[in-house]
Amino acid sequence: MAVRIDVEAFHDSIPTAVGEAAARLLTDDNVGELEPAGGGVQAVVRDHDATFQPWVGIVDGAFTGDCDCGIPDDDLCAHAVATALTAFHARIAFSGAATPPGAAPLEPDDAHYRQAVQRLSPRQLADLVAEHAVRDRLFATLLLGAAGMLDTTNASGSLATFRAAVTDAAAVTTGSRWQISDVEAVGHRLAVEVEILCAHPATPTALDLVEEAIVIWDDLSGHLRDAHHVTRTEPEEIADPLLDAHRDLCERLDLDPDEIAERLKRLLARCHYDTVDIDSYADLLGEHADTITSPTRW
């Protein structure tokens, strides 16, 4: 159940020094994009050379903040206040029974790794992160994105790399000496590269290219189905990441249901192995969900 916040009373309850610090953060545009979490909202907030991720929501009837800056939970820090004011301005609806991120139960593996992180010094952790980023392009992209350091150069390079992967996939069976393992290899490359592509800001060009990749993979998946007795890759292992990326880009580009429906109809007309699952687009299609059907394949 959504709860209405008395913004004026909230302002009056904030200590002057905290309010002034929050106002500075807002003036300097240091509050990142709001994200729903546990019935409340959170955002990345940059404060001088430090970065925090405060959460705000209503817990046990009280407006509550949870931030990793070290301020006691009973007090709202400037980062939480700036996040709250941003949420009020955006007219975000708050749940009457929210759960702070720190209160949510962790998966056993997650808890184990978090415990390991807490035992490291900041320098040790930074060294490990940097070394892994050098070895793993996806991790490097996610790292730069979380730090707000993905620029147009990064995005252009990722788009060019994915385009090259699509081109190679389209040509993999054109020669006379290709093997099923070659099809599997280009498929796994597509799956990795599309995840890197979607870590960048969404663009219409990226969406068009992902659609081309889906059509190409649909055609290649026929070879895997014909040679199912020797393959080590199921077609869905590649199709699912591509379709997840397609849905994600449609949503992030805020396409209306009419355009999404037309794009899906074109994809279905070009795909011959039921790669595209229309049901997974139901929430984006709205009333169009029941008007699109996969063509009958013989």
- Which residues are bridge partners to 52 per DSSP? 45
Is the pLDDT score of 70 beyond 80?
no
Which tokens go with 148? Answer: 């707000």
**Is residue 271 pLDDT above 80, yes or no?**
yes
Q: Which residue do the tokens 């960048």 mark?
A: 200
Buried b (16+ CB within 10 A) or exposed e, 257-275: eeebbebbbebbebbebeb
- pLDDT per residue over 209-260, tens digit each? 999 999 999 999 999 999 988 899 999 999 999 999 999 999 999 999 999 9
Query: CA 93, CA 202: separation in Å to the nearest integer?
Result: 26
- Indicate the burial class of 103 (C-beta count within 10 angstroms; 0-12, 13-18, 19 or more): exposed
Please determine, for residue 298, whether its predicted confidence score (pLDDT) is greater than 50: no
3-state secondary structure of 119: coil
Q: Return the higher-pLDDT residue of 61 and 180.
A: 180
DSSP symbol at 73: T
Residue 190: predicted pLDDT: 97
Contacts of 246 (CB under 8 A, 6+ apart): 207, 210, 211, 214
pLDDT at 75 over 70: yes
The string of pLDDT tens digits covering residues 122-181 is: 899 999 999 999 999 989 998 888 777 887 677 788 999 999 999 999 999 998 899 999
Tokens of residue 16, six digits? 């002057």
Q: pLDDT tier at 293 (50, 70, 90 boundaries)?
A: low
In the chain, what are the domain boundaries?
Answer: 2-103, 136-290
Predicted confidence at residue 94, as pLDDT, reads 85
Q: Count Cα neighbours of 5 within 13 Å in the Cβ-side half-sphere.
A: 26
| Torsion angle, alpha carbons of 88, 94, 100, 101, to 10 | -80
